[in-house]
Every structure is written in structure tokens, then in C-alpha cells.
Amino acid sequence: MADMITYREAVAEGLARELRRDSSVVCLGEDIGAAGGVFKTTSGLFAEFGKERVWDTPISEQAILGVAMGAAMTGMRPVAEIMFSDFFACCWDYLANEIPKMRYMTGGQVTVPLVVRTANGGGLGFGAQHSQAVENWTLAIPGLKIAAPSNPADVVGLMAAAIRSDDPVVFFEHKGLFASKGPAAPEGHVVELGKAAVAREGSDVSLVALAATVPMALAAADLLAADGISAEVIDLRCLVPLDMATVLASVGRTSRLVIVEENPFQGGWGGTVASIVADEGFELLDAPIRRVAAACVPLPFADALEQLVIPTVDGVVKAARTLVAY
């Protein structure tokens, strides 16, 4: 049996493997050096690779992405950490206007092969400015690839693919998953960007999820199974490229679709998935598409209130039962 590893440890492992493999890879961000990162996701990297490869930066998201972009344009493969995904707002010009457009605007003469890592998502009572799931922010910007792993092996595999990509990749690490455990990735493990996984097979309803909503959907599937409802769980892994072929194949098997996302309902990635299924797979459906998403409010600090705002296992179970009974 494979060794078990935490999601947090998998981030450091994935980075270490690529730092060893390719001397052009460097890491930069706030407190990622000797401190090992505020979430301990870069633990051990400074000791092994030193200050030449692991750069502590000032508290300036603009500086971090500006340096990363310049380094990437001149031949390096930087991995920049923005401590909380909410802080993308502080460096949005780089993320929206500069990094994703450079290759296009130079006719391919200049590539920007960088990864922006960030801690994303809620459920831990970090309050309105440190708990947002912001995949939908980056999804609105053409030119960015988007990865969001749900388990330790995928952290390592997607990290390898992201760092080796010649396009900029935003890599969302979910704060609520850092302590979770799963099998360690085998040596040389690479997960192609844009390939969804069938996390659980089923025949009655498809649950499409991403990052922290994947274990949520799996837990809901267990509860539904007790009722004799067979739920299939699809782990998207990436939003760009978006593997709609796997989603449509699943809907072809089950005829029902529940999309489970942590983004706010308004403008969430689930709206894109739903529209494509409605457009390309309408005849596969035996019931309306349902989205279980966060409410369109700032995230509360109080645990009890936060649980009313973000998706829950009970919410997924309720949506699935409604569709099966439709």
C-alpha cells in the first residue's frame, strides 16, 4: 500500500521534485524560506535548495508577480506564492493584464512559464477577506490555466504539469484540505492539465466537484448510497483546460447533474459547466441541472454562519435526492 501523506506535505514534495529536476525552477513568496510558509507548504525547501532557489519577498503581491513575470520572460520557471487567494486583488493588473497576454501580444516570441500558487477557500472561520474561493476570478481571464487539486497525489502530479507548462498556471491549494491525507504520489508522477477524474462510479446522478467539494461530494455519495441512490463523482481537477468530455460522458450514464462549487452562485464556474451541458448534452438529461454553490454574501467569520453560506454535504444530498425523484 502506498505511503500516506498530507495535502500540505504534498505541496512541498511536488515543489521539491521539480526544483531537483530543473535548475531553472525557483520559488518566491512571503515567508516561504526558513519559516517554511505560513501554512507550512514549503517546509524543508530552504534547507535543501537555499536562498538561490527559494526567495523570501517583501509583503507586496505586486512585487512578487512582477519579479516572477520578469524571471519567466527571461528563461526561468518561477513558482510564486500569493499567501491568500483573496490577495489576488492586490496584484490583479499583473494577473489579468500582463501575465496572460504577453505571449499573445508578442506573437509567441515571449512565453511566461510561471505558476502562481495560492491558498484558497473557506470553511475555517478566517473571515471575509481570507476565506474566498476565487477560481471564478481567474476563470474570467483568457490566457490563464487553472488547477485545483483535491488530494495529495494530484497536488504532486498537477504541480509537475503546471511548472512544466509554457503558459501561466494559477494553482489553487485549498486551506481546508491541508491536513487531509491520501496516498503519496509515485516517482515521476505527472497529471496532465485538463483531465478530470472519475472519483467514484455511479448510475443515478453525477456530482461534479472541484478541490474541497470533491470530498464533500464523496461523503454525500456515501449517504445517498444508503438510500439506494448511486452517485457518480467527477473531480474536475482543472478549470482551464476544462474536461467537459468526461462530464458529458458521466451525464450520459446518469441523466442527472449536480454541480458542487465553493464559488458564489453569481458568476461561479458551475454556471459555465451547466451552460455547456445544457448546450451539448440537453438530450442526455432527465431532470434540470442543479448547482450547489456559496451564497452571494461576504463570508462570515462565525463558524455557524459560515456553514450556512458555503456548500455542505447535506446540501448536496438534498439536491441529488430532488433530481432522482424528479
Query: Which residues have a catalytic role annotated?
Result: 61, 130
Query: Are 300 and 306 contacting, i.e. CB atoms less than 8 angstroms apart?
Result: yes
- From CA 97, how far away is CA 18, in angstroms rounded? 28
- Strand bridging mode 4-6 / 115-120: unpaired
Sheet-wide strand order for 54-56: 54-56, 25-29, 77-84, 115-120, 169-174, 145-147, 238-240
CB 247 within 8 A of CB 273: yes
| Block residue for cell numbers 512559464 | 113
> Between the CA of residue 39 and those of 7, 8, 54, 174, 176, what are the distances in Å?
11, 8, 16, 11, 11
Q: Which three cell numbers stand for residue 42?
A: 514549503
Query: Residues 322, 290: contact at Cβ < 8 Å?
Result: yes
DSSP annotation string for 118-166 = EEE--SS---TTS----HHHHHTSTT-EEE--SSHHHHHHHHHHHHH-S
d(CA 113, CA 76) in angstroms, rounded, equals 8
Element (H, E) at 27: strand 25-29
Tell me the angle at which helices 152-164 and 7-21 cross, rounded to the nearest 10 degrees.
30
> For residues 181 and 3, what is the distance between their CA atoms, to the nearest angstrom?
10
